[in-house]
Amino acid sequence: MQEIALFLWAFLAATIFPFSSEVAFVAALANDMPFINAMFFASSGNVLAIILNYWFGYWLYEKTRTKLAASKAGRKSLDYGHKYGYFILLFSWLPILGDPLTLVAGVLRLRFVWFVIIAGSLRVVRYYFIAQII
């Protein structure tokens, strides 16, 4: 039951809800959840949520692209996004800032495979480092 709760908490934390998956992860470990279970369920929930964010952004592509392309600042933003999009994903593991970046990756239509490799692996690595610190 603890594992399912951790999965759901990590999933919701990577969406628009203001939850901290790190707190839930540390609490799970503090309550004697095996490390491998905590890693698996927290990482799975978080990675699935960023995939949902990506596809939501992908779905919003036409509406946002049309509005952005209509202004000079918007066109510049799109250009920067396409130029530095994968580099910006290196910050997608950060609390608060990272989750919107996963949605923007979908809006920019960054390649899905590279998105999952970069953003997903950083989410897993974040939990690993948190576990090593505590």
**C-alpha to C-alpha distance for 90 and 116, rounded to whole angstroms:** 12
pLDDT tens-digit map of 26-50: 999 999 999 999 999 999 999 999 9
Q: Give residue 51's pLDDT band: very low, low, confident or very high (50, 70, 90).
A: very high
Helices (H), 14-120: 21-30, 35-59, 61-69, 72-88, 98-107, 112-115
Interval 5-20 mean pLDDT? 91
Residue with tokens 């004697």: 32
Per residue in 69-125, pLDDT (tens digit) is 888 888 888 888 888 889 999 999 998 888 989 999 999 999 999 999 999 999 999
Sign of CA dihedral 39, 26, 53, 86: negative
Tell me: pLDDT of 19 over 80. yes
pLDDT confidence of residue 29: 97
